[in-house]
Amino acid sequence: MATRRRRRGEVLDPKQLGYLVSGSTKDRFDAVADLADIGSSELIELLILRMLDNELTDQGIPAWLPQKDRSEELPINTA
């Protein structure tokens, strides 16, 4: 089955990501996109949106990354 490609104009203000990843990671990622019948660019956009909408802590960091040390922060009373 052919991977579904997005139609021209479907992406608003498109930007090309310029990040380097290992070849084996890219191959695995592309395989997941193929299994989902979507392009790799659509899969990365969906993953980014999911992370931004659902997986950020109050520090603005994904919950699955090490969190910043807050031992030096002073408590803020909101009362």
User: Taking residues 15-34, what's their average pLDDT?
Assistant: 95
* 30 exposure class (CB count in 10 Å sphere: 0-12, 13-18, 19+): middle
The alpha helices in the chain, defined as continuous H runs, are: 23-35, 40-54
3-state secondary structure of 47: helix
pTM above 0.95, yes or no: no
C-alpha–C-alpha distance, residues 27 and 35, integer Å:
12
- Per-residue pLDDT band at 11 (split at 50, 70, 90): confident
Looking up tokens 């139609």 gives: 7
